[in-house]
Copies of this chain bind each other. A is one copy, B any other.
Amino acid sequence: MNLEQLREERPLVHHITNEVVMNFTANGLLAFGGSPVMSKEKEEIEEMAGIANAIVLNIGTVRKEDLETMIKAGRTANKAGVPVLLDPVGAGATTFRKQAVQRIVNEVDISVVKGNAGEIGALADIPLKVKGVDSEEGGDAEVIALEAAKTLQTRVVVTGETDVISDGKDFFTSSHGTPLLGYITGAGCLLGSLIAACISIEEEKIEAVQFAINFYNKAAERAEKKAGGPGTFIPHLLDELGETDD
């Protein structure tokens, strides 16, 4: 995965995403080296998705009428061979959300699904032993990632204290990061945008996903050292996303 190339090409990542995190996500992706676009108007969605290098579908504040737009954008991307990342925010919280993400995975080829254990479990219909999920051992997260990747037949990222990536055969983990990521809104959503940017320029998708996660977690660790709390952590995290890893 070549970060220099990404920063030169500045891949256009089209987001149909949640209203809470739009600004933060856009700033994070800009700092990292991508180029964010956000629109959910059905009339322009095919044209917009058609010029994008990657698509992010995030259901954080999805409305019923936006679901069709998400599917239209995803299918346009599929036809163009452009990768689609799905972030099933709160998928387990309501029947509406669970059905929404299941419709998306049925109708769109998803390159990467990224969520926490509860969200991925809800999407892939994996019953969770509630205890242990998000636990330090991370044992369940590995099983969930692997099982979900098999069921959904795509790559799956389960975020938590240890992030787990699986392609249905193997799994990889990243235990970097900081608890501060859990005290700011959109930390996971922004990670989704970075992954989308990386898989848009790298053929080896799992390598691209690993790169994005490790880069993000290490940037968060550096930002944590400069921060006095979750508030000052945010601008420092954005700064660090614009740096190199070395």
Known: A20-B23, A22-B20, A31-B229. A62 touches B41 (CB 8 A): yes
CB–CB B186/A48 < 8 A? no
Q: How many copies does the complex hold?
A: 3
Q: Which bucket holds chain A's interface residue count?
A: 35 or more
A168 interfacial contact with B, CB 8 Å? no
**The stretch of A77-85, A104-112, A231-239 that contacts the partner chain:** A231-239
Q: Which residue of B is nearest A43, CB measured?
A: B96
Segment at the interface with B among A87-95, A135-143, A144-152, A195-203: A87-95
Known: A39-B61, A94-B48, A242-B229. A30 touches B236 (CB 8 A): no
How far, in whole Å, are A24 and B27 apart by their CA atoms in the complex? 11
Q: Are B64 and A30 in contact (CB under 8 A)?
A: no
A58 to chain B, nearest CB (A): 13
- Interface residues of A, Cβ cutoff 8 Å to B: 18-24, 26-27, 30-31, 36-44, 47-48, 51, 60-64, 90, 93-97, 183-186, 227-232, 234-243
